[in-house]
Amino acid sequence: MEITPLSPTWIPQAAALDRECFSLPWSENALRSELSNENALWLAAVEGESLLGYVGAQISFEDADMMNLAVTPARRRQGVAAALVLALEEALAARGVTTLTLEVRASNAPAQALYQKLGYSQIARRPGYYLRPREDALLYRKELVP
């Protein structure tokens, strides 16, 4: 597995993965537009011709917000998500980002366990944040060390 910047080549697979993982997936156009956003950073986990997962964040000065983290179901619980998050943290810190936040569904215990294992702390709850189905989001934050 290799972690690399998400490139236009991987967009169709990323959009398909989004449709598989999320009830309100990003379109190919939305993902593609993020690649030209100078305030965004998107990484892919790839193996040969296969996209195993991807992660993206939007940057605002010294803060960043993780927008999406998706891993193909066949490769979950094999370290792909952790590798993506750690690579994202390192790349963001290199850009001067000191804080990374993210939202996660209140029912997504595996994701919460991953974030806690990686040093994130829950700082808030956002009632009714997610749609389809309506659900609270838990807000997590981590201070990044350059």
For 11-40, what is the mean pLDDT?
94
d(CA 23, CA 31): 16
pLDDT above 90 (res 146)? no
For 24-40, what is the mean pLDDT?
94
Q: What is the pLDDT of residue 124?
A: 97
Torsion angles phi and psi, residue 66, rounded to 5: -70, 120
Catalytic residue among 34, 54, 115, 140: 115
Domain ranges of the chain: 2-143
In one letter, which amino acid is 45?
A
Name the β-bridge partners of 102: 140
89 is catalytic: no
Q: Mean pLDDT across the chain, nearest whole number?
A: 95
d(CA 20, CA 33): 20
Cβ atoms of 6 and 14 closer than 8 Å: yes
Note the pLDDT tens digit of each residue in 124-139. Answer: 999 999 988 999 999 9
pTM: 0.94
DSSP conformation letters of 85-145: HHHHHHHHHHTT--EEEEEEETT-HHHHHHHHHTT-EEEEEEEEEETTTTEEEEEEEEE--
Q: What is the pLDDT of residue 132?
A: 85
Q: What is the pLDDT of residue 80?
A: 97
For 6-22, what is the mean pLDDT?
94
Note the pLDDT tens digit of each residue in 78-124. Answer: 999 999 999 999 999 999 999 999 999 999 999 999 999 999 999 99
d(CA 119, CA 128): 25
Q: What is the pLDDT of residue 23?
A: 86
CATH number (3.40.1190.20, 3.40.50.9100, 3.40.630.30, 2.30.130.30) of 2-143 reads: 3.40.630.30
Catalytic residue among 89, 103, 130, 140: 103
Task: Kindly calculate the radius of gyration of the chain based on its CA atoms and give it in whole angstroms.
Answer: 14
Note the pLDDT tens digit of each residue in 39-65. Answer: 999 999 999 999 999 999 999 999 999
20 is catalytic: no
